[in-house]
């Protein structure tokens, strides 16, 4: 999968609070009580989804984008409130729903049963509307915190797998993706292509214009390559000014087409920085295999072809003999 599809959109804290609290599922078999609850919650700014019994509520929760703030009646046909709580908790969803269990039962043993079944809070009928609203606010705060923690986890995961400068996959991540893709090739026989790409004379750019300009060039080159490879290919920064791409289900013709497209995308239009405009070119080496092949061996073969492209003047593509990975690695 292309790195662009993996990045996703980060949600701001206020958006997290809104997505965590806007929608409430009410599961209540008493029609009048259900309508009263619905009306109150809507007046408080909630979007309300209602279920007439536990079975209907369960079906709603199994769908995508189900609410994560739930008000469940204890006594309902089909599935009662405690059993519905147990089913919800057994799913161990990524998003933890906050459950308020509502019932006419008010003795200590019933409270314990409801909480042990998986409810987060408990409210006895009849209840004061202000108390209900206050308890829902508690649920909103907890859900907002959960969403913020999930966002922080995803940000850390992104940072762990991506190059800090260019935003494409890190060296470790692209090597792991290559190994996984080659495992798929070994199972299916569908060919995998590898491209190794290196900017020509990049040291001269750093020496002449400084490392800040060099960094700007690397970021723009990575972005151009990422936009050029196919949507289901993956791009990583292999090291310095060198990039590696793994191309799924890639024929020799596909490999050459993508490689030439990348070369043109980098070299055809000068890269503008804050201080200058630079003509940048890239040398590319590539190889395809449809057999079980060690990832490092395939990378070595693609790297050898990259060396050939450099040796032949740069700004060119050299592709190796397909399914042969015995090429001499450059020293």
CATH code of 296's domain = 3.30.70.270
On whether residue 309 sits in a domain, the answer given is yes
Q: For residue 324, tell me if it sits in a domain.
A: no
Are 40 and 65 found together in one domain? yes
Our count of domains for the chain comes to: 2
In a domain, 330, yes or no: no
Do 103 and 194 belong together in one domain? Answer: no
| Helices assigned H by DSSP within the chain | 3-7, 13-21, 31-43, 54-62, 81-91, 108-117, 129-161, 171-188, 202-209, 211-228, 252-267, 295-311
Which of the following is catalytic: 28, 181, 220, 241? 241
Domain housing 275: 171-319
Residues contacting 56, CB < 8 A, separation 6+: 27, 78
241 given a catalytic annotation: yes
Query: Do residues 84 and 189 share a domain?
Result: no
In a domain? residue 302: yes
pTM (predicted TM-score): 0.62
Q: What is the CATH number of the domain that holds 49?
A: 3.40.50.2300
Cβ proximity of 233 and 191 under 8 Å: no
Residues 148 and 181 in one domain: no
Say if residue 226 is in the same domain as residue 249: yes
Residues 133 and 265 in one domain: no
> Same domain, yes or no, for 180 and 117?
no
**Same domain as 141, residue 187:** no
Domain end residue (candidates: 140, 160, 180): 160
Per-residue pLDDT of the chain (331 residues; tens, 9 = 90+): 454 444 333 333 333 334 445 899 999 999 998 999 999 999 999 999 999 999 999 999 988 788 989 999 999 988 999 999 999 998 876 678 999 999 887 778 888 888 999 999 988 888 889 999 999 999 999 998 888 888 888 888 888 889 999 999 999 999 999 999 999 988 888 999 999 999 999 999 999 999 999 999 999 999 999 999 999 999 999 999 999 999 999 999 999 999 999 999 999 999 998 888 999 999 999 999 988 788 888 899 999 999 999 999 999 999 987 655 444 433 3
Rounded Cα gap, residues 314 and 197, in angstroms = 11
331 lies in some domain: no
How many other β-carbons are positioned within 10 Å of the β-carbon of residue 102?
Answer: 25
- Are 49 and 104 in a shared domain? yes
For residue 269 the two structure tokens come to: 């239009």
Residues 19 and 93 in one domain: yes
On whether the CB atoms of residues 285 and 303 are closer than 8 A, the answer is yes
What is the model's pLDDT at position 328? Answer: 41
Same-domain check for residues 72 and 155: yes
Last residue of a domain, one of 160, 186, 207: 160
> Contact, 133 vs 44, CB < 8 A?
yes
Contact call for residues 80 and 71 (beta carbons, < 8 A): no
pLDDT score at 19: 47
Q: Are residues 99 and 222 in the same domain?
A: no
Asked if residue 229 belongs to a domain, the reply is yes
């Amino acid at each position: 999968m292309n790195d662009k599809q993996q990045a996703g959109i980060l949600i701001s804290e206020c958006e997290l609070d809104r997505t965590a609290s806007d929608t409430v599922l009410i599961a209540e078999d008493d029609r009048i009580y259900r309508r009263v609850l619905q009306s109150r919650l809507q007046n408080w700014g909630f979007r309300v989804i209602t279920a007439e019994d536990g079975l209907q509520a369960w079906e709603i929760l199994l769908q995508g984008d189900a609410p994560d703030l739930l008000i469940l009646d204890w006594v309902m046909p089909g599935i009662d409130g405690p059993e519905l709580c147990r089913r919800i908790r057994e799913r161990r969803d990524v998003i933890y729903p906050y459950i308020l269990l509502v019932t006419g039962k008010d003795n200590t043993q019933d409270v314990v049963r409801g909480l042990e079944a998986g409810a987060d809070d408990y409210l006895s009928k009849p209840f004061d509307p202000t108390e209900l609203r206050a308890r829902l606010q508690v649920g909103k705060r907890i859900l907002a915190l959960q969403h913020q923690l999930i966002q922080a986890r995803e940000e850390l995961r992104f940072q762990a797998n991506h190059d800090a400068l260019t935003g494409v996959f890190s060296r470790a991540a692209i090597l792991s993706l290559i190994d996984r893709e080659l495992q798929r090739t070994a199972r299916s026989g569908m060919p995998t292509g590898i491209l190794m790409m290196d900017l020509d004379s990049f040291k001269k750019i750093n020496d002449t214009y400084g490392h800040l300009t060099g960094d700007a060039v690397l970021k723009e080159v990575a972005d151009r390559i990422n936009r050029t490879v196919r949507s289901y290919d993956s791009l990583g920064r292999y090291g310095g000014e060198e990039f590696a791409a793994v191309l799924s289900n890639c024929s020799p013709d596909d490999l050459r087409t993508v490689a030439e497209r990348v070369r043109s995308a980098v070299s055809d239009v000068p890269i503008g920085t804050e201080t200058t405009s630079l003509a940048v070119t890239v040398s590319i080496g590539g190889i395809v295999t449809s057999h079980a092949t060690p990832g490092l061996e395939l990378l070595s073969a693609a790297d050898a072809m990259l060396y050939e492209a450099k040796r032949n003047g740069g700004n060119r593509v050299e592709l190796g003999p397909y399914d042969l990975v015995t090429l001499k690695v450059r020293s």
